[in-house]
Amino acid sequence: MNEQPELSFTIEELRPDDVEVITVLRYESYADAYVNEELGVTRKWLNERNSRYYSPEYIQSWRDRYEAGKGNGTIMAWVARAKNGKIIGFATPFIQPEGIRRVGSLYVAKAWYGKGVGNALMSKVVEWHGPVETIELHVVSYNERAKAFYRKWGFEEVPGSETLFAYKIPEVMMVRKGALS
């Protein structure tokens, strides 16, 4: 008998009180993955750029947008929660108004890299969108770890799709073709 190891985390639907925690995790993850001194993407620049996202008004607007999108089926969110209750990752897939399905945000706390959290969250993303649907994402072009993770899930880089996020961070589009494509 092949026994599965017990997971030291659970995946559950986002609760309104989780929004502030995932906002902090998102920007801690940015600093871990995106700092690139050559491009001027410093911790200071990231902190200055993202400071507005910590305001109570922004947190509440995120909650409101999530509840509205969840109600009409265009967004979903899950958190990965360690046994001690701490949020260690999250995913927020969504569908754009024109019908394009996106991974959205998928971040895992650095201490939890390689422990199955990203795979568990991506599994929820693919399940929510449906395995026959095409799913897109943008990833920082120099984030090789993330690109390798997405390739394992069937995403391929789209040649010529490079853009600049916030006029500074190079990104590339990756697409996972669905069975209907």
pLDDT the model gives residue 2: 46
Whole-number Å distance between alpha carbons of 92 and 107: 9
Domain assignment present for residue 4? The answer is no
Tokens representing 163 are 């853009």
Is residue 133 assigned to a domain?
A: yes
For residue 141, is it within any domain? yes
pLDDT for residue 4: 44
Q: Which helix (H) or strand (E) holds 92?
A: strand 87-95
Residue at 3 is within a domain: no
Q: Distance (Å, rounded) from C-alpha 168 to C-alpha 45?
A: 10
Q: How far apart are CA 99 and CA 101, in angstroms?
A: 6
pLDDT of 3 reads 47
* 108 domain-assigned: yes
Q: How far apart are CA 59 and CA 19, in angstroms?
A: 7
Strands (E) across 30-69 are located at none
Give the chain's domain count: 1
Domain assignment of residue 1, yes or no: no
Q: Which of 97, 96, 79 is nearest to 87 (CA)?
A: 79
pLDDT, averaged per 10 consecutive residues of the chain (181 residues), comes to 64 94 92 92 91 90 92 94 96 95 96 95 96 94 96 97 93 90 55
Residue 1: per-residue pLDDT: 43
**Is 121 part of any domain?**
yes
Cα 79 to Cα 48, 57, 69, 90, 124, distances in angstroms: 26, 22, 17, 4, 10
Give the per-residue pLDDT at 131.
84
- Structural domain contains residue 17: yes
Domain span including residue 84: 9-176
The CATH number linked to 151 is 3.40.630.30
pLDDT of residue 179: 73
Q: Largest Cα–Cα distance in the chain?
A: 53
Q: Count how many residues are written for the chain.
A: 181
The pTM of the full predicted model, rounded to 2 decimals, is 0.91
